[in-house]
Amino acid sequence: MTAMTKDKSQHFCSTVKCQCLVLLLTAGCVAAAVCVALLSTAVRGRMPPDMEWWQTTIIYQIYPRSFMDSNNDGIGDIRGIISKLDHFTYLNVKAIWISPVYESPMKDFGYDISNFTNVSPIFGNLTDMANLTEEAHKRGLKVILDFVPNHSSNLHMWFNESVKRTPRYKDYYVWRDGIAGPNGTHSPPNNWLSVFKNSAWEWNEERKQYYYHAFLKEQPDLNYRNPALVEEMQNALRFWLERGVDGFRIDALPYLFEVTNTSWNEPKSNRTDLDPTQYDYLTHPYTQNLMDDMYKVLAGWRDVLDEYENLDEKRRFMVVEAYTKTTAEKIAWYKSAADMPFYFGLLNINKACGGSCIRDIVDEAYKDLPANAWANFVFGNHDNRRVSTKKGPEFVNALNMLLLTLKGTPTTYYGEEIGMLDVNITYNQSVDPQGKVYNESVFLKYSRDPERSPMQWSNDTMAGFTNSTTSWLPVGSNYRTINVETEKDAEGFSTIKLYRTLAKLREEPPFRYGLFKTAVVNNNTYSYLRHAFDFPQYLIAINFGSSTDTSDYTKAPVNAERGVVVANTGNVNATYNVNSNVDLSRITLNSAEGLVIKIINAP
Ligand code: GLC
């Protein structure tokens, strides 16, 4: 400030009283202006929605055994995850979901838990977990834990005590007498089957009763008709909420309840391709989706989450694993106290699924959503083959473009951001119990090992996943080209760079909360418009077919002639470079080519 202006200002208003008055008047005017702007926007119904953190982030699933190994035993661990947290900052991902790291005999690789409030030494310890949440939070990353309520391990202390009929634990599990046969023999109470094949009932010689297990016999089902057990599991949630976790992915929820009348056999599905020991040989009206019972348990969990939310007003998130078959089932889960059920429709993408097929799957996600319900999309997880393999590696970028530009929360399974593929597994290398129950000729149809291979970090030996010479599952043979480091360092286009660009773009209102309107769709191409208020509009057009498609995009809902490419799928010989100006009346997309185009509105 010059001496002159200083003098002037002193002359104009030099007393404290006067300065206060000016301040008040200025603040008042600014506040009034803001109010008028907000009100006029609100009057026009154009307020951006209030959004929760889980609606604005990408959820990234970490399968801990396969993410990063810090102690060179060939198995990923918590310290490994901590060492890679900057990966998420790079990607613009704001939430990680970590598959189970609890104490476990690892019959189902962590989904058989022998202590819900401790960590397996394979993965680390409670201090490591505390460090993980602290380091994640420092980077603005939310931490979602897998919560596995349906069953425990048979090595859990509760099961041991239940076998002995110790009063407190006697009814922690689902026990039934067998059906008596001749000469003191007995058979299971009914025909119910395990998801992993064969009877869902296992005889326990010590207790002289059968127990029910929807999954492995080493995973006895917990009894949610026992209030003491319900409370016990609520306390497990509290344990982790106390330690700062931001939410839970709830495992296998549809299996939580069975009818109490175990004399009811489940009906046949009439699937002639299956043998009578396979789960889908039957339908499951008595052992799946008993929604009224489930709603109560979920409401109890929500109350627990609210205890913590009420302290700091930060939403504690709950997402449910439920493979819904109908719109009605999907809606039923949305009506529960969970924030949302995962929508698994995109898992059905295969080679033959082109533009209109993908449109149908996406439309189903949005269909009949209750008011305020939020859609979400999943490509893969530790139970399903990678979509990159199902659809074909040439579609990796097109698929990520789809996932990250739809309206709703995307979930990325580790490795999707670099285009990882399923790995080839021999019978001897395979470890997944779901595959191992079959013989060598068919195990691959069921084994989940191919999608669980180690994360490919670099082109070092073992893909930079471990310093050991072996890993629990083999590293993909393509790791020298498909890996984080090489893709980050690439001169031009790379899969990870596209992922990052799109993740950043998602932060713009049209993608974050804007409307979603389907545009041109045919057997090859799927396209849609994203727009919000007066923000620039975006057209996303992707060719999921096997041949070239030329279409005119100028009609509704686009209603424009030209646009600018802001992202492409980096195809060799691509016609449309980033920043190039395109004529919307004639866009030609090769197979597996996709574009994000910012619409230029006519002046
Ligand atoms: C869920 C998990 C799966 C596990 C099963 C039993 O479906 O995603 O991996 O095997 O539950 O816990």
| Residues 255-298: tens digit of each pLDDT | 999 999 999 999 999 999 999 999 999 999 999 999 999 999 99
251 tagged catalytic: yes
443 Cβ neighbours under 8 A, 6+ residues apart: 427, 430, 435, 436
Indicate if ligand 1 lies below 6 Å from the C-beta of 281. no
Choice between 83 and 37, residue whose per-residue pLDDT is larger: 83
Q: Report the pLDDT averaged over residues 312-324.
A: 97
Choice between 571 and 474, residue whose per-residue pLDDT is larger: 474
How many angstroms does the Cα of residue 519 sit away from the middle of ligand 1?
A: 38
> Residue for token digits 């599990």?
173
Is residue 504 one of the residues assigned to a domain? no
**In this model, does residue 568 exceed pLDDT 90?**
yes
Looking only at the bridges linking them, the beta strands covering 175-176 and 179-180 are unpaired
Q: Based on the fold, state whether residues 88 and 191 are members of the same structural domain.
A: no
Identify the domain boundary among 238, 268, 288: 288
**Please, which pLDDT band fits residue 380 given cuts at 50, 70 and 90?**
very high
CATH of the domain at 562: 2.60.40.1180
Q: Based on the fold, state whether residues 585 and 475 are members of the same structural domain.
A: no
**From 251, 320, 431, 447, mutation site for ligand 1 pocket: most ligand atoms within 8 A of C-beta:** 251
Indicate if ligand 1 lies below 6 Å from the C-beta of 487. no
**Please, which pLDDT band fits residue 35 given cuts at 50, 70 and 90?**
very low
**In this model, does residue 101 exceed pLDDT 80?**
yes
Whole-structure pTM value: 0.92
The pLDDT score that the predictor gives to residue 28 is: 54
**In this model, does residue 22 exceed pLDDT 80?**
no
Is residue 235 one of the residues assigned to a domain? yes
Nearest-CA residue for ligand 1 atom 7 is 252
**Please, which pLDDT band fits residue 27 given cuts at 50, 70 and 90?**
low
Indicate if ligand 1 lies below 6 Å from the C-beta of 252. yes
- When mean pLDDT is compared across 29-43, 131-145, 404-418, 458-472, the lowest value belongs to 29-43
Is residue 425 one of the residues assigned to a domain? yes
Q: Report the pLDDT averaged over residues 95-108.
A: 98
**Please, which pLDDT band fits residue 47 given cuts at 50, 70 and 90?**
confident
Among 534, 601, 589, 517, which Cα is nearest to 562's? 601
Share of the chain above pLDDT 70, in %: 92
Cα atoms in the 13 Å half-sphere on the side-chain side of 29: 5
Identify the domain boundary among 499, 522, 555: 499
Atom of ligand 1 nearest to the CA of 216: 6
Q: Based on the fold, state whether residues 294 and 275 are members of the same structural domain.
A: no
Identify the domain boundary among 499, 524, 540: 499
Among 403, 412, 410, which Cα is nearest to 382's? 412
Q: Which 3 state secondary structure label does DSSP give 515? A: strand
pLDDT of 411-433, one tens digit each? 999 999 999 999 999 999 999 99
How many angstroms does the Cα of residue 249 sit away from the middle of ligand 1?
A: 12
Is residue 50 one of the residues assigned to a domain? no
108 tagged catalytic: no
Q: Report the pLDDT averaged over residues 135-143.
A: 98
Is residue 51 one of the residues assigned to a domain? no
**Helix 396-405 crosses helix 495-505 at what angle (to 10 degrees)?**
10
Task: Please state, as a whole number, how many other Cβ atoms lie within 10 Å of the Cβ of residue 135.
Answer: 16
Q: Based on the fold, state whether residues 183 and 270 are members of the same structural domain.
A: yes
Q: Based on the fold, state whether residues 154 and 21 are members of the same structural domain.
A: no
Q: How many domains would you assign to the chain?
A: 4
Hey, what are 414's tokens?
């580790």
**Please, which pLDDT band fits residue 573 given cuts at 50, 70 and 90?**
confident
How many angstroms does the Cα of residue 123 sit away from the middle of ligand 1?
A: 18
Task: Please state, as a whole number, how many other Cβ atoms lie within 10 Å of the Cβ of residue 354.
Answer: 22
Q: Based on the fold, state whether residues 262 and 233 are members of the same structural domain.
A: no
Nearest-CA residue for ligand 1 atom 4 is 111
pLDDT of 327-350, one tens digit each? 999 999 999 999 999 999 999 999
Is residue 109 one of the residues assigned to a domain? yes
Q: Based on the fold, state whether residues 422 and 565 are members of the same structural domain.
A: no
| Domain with 184 in it | 150-221+258-288
CA pair distance 395, 524, nearest whole angstrom? 13
C-alpha 566 chain-centroid distance: 26
CATH of the domain at 266: 3.90.400.10
Q: State the alpha helices, DSSP H only, in 199-290.
A: 227-242
Q: Based on the fold, state whether residues 196 and 269 are members of the same structural domain.
A: yes
> Residue for token digits 């900057």?
86
Indicate if ligand 1 lies below 6 Å from the C-beta of 413. no
Choice between 575 and 550, residue whose per-residue pLDDT is larger: 550
Looking only at the bridges linking them, the beta strands covering 409-413 and 175-176 are unpaired
Q: Based on the fold, state whether residues 337 and 464 are members of the same structural domain.
A: yes
Q: Report the pLDDT averaged over residues 393-399.
A: 98
Is residue 505 one of the residues assigned to a domain? no
Atom of ligand 1 nearest to the CA of 448: 9
Q: Report the pLDDT averaged over residues 211-217.
A: 98
Q: State the alpha helices, DSSP H only, in 95-252.
A: 126-138, 157-163, 227-242
**Please, which pLDDT band fits residue 490 given cuts at 50, 70 and 90?**
very high
Is residue 323 one of the residues assigned to a domain? yes
How many angstroms does the Cα of residue 64 sit away from the middle of ligand 1?
A: 14
CA pair distance 312, 185, nearest whole angstrom? 59
Q: Based on the fold, state whether residues 538 and 448 are members of the same structural domain.
A: no
CB 400 within 8 A of CB 377: no
**Mean pLDDT over the full length of the chain:** 93
CATH of the domain at 113: 3.20.20.80
Indicate if ligand 1 lies below 6 Å from the C-beta of 215. yes
How many angstroms does the Cα of residue 478 sit away from the middle of ligand 1?
A: 28
Q: Based on the fold, state whether residues 169 and 262 are members of the same structural domain.
A: yes
Q: Based on the fold, state whether residues 415 and 404 are members of the same structural domain.
A: no
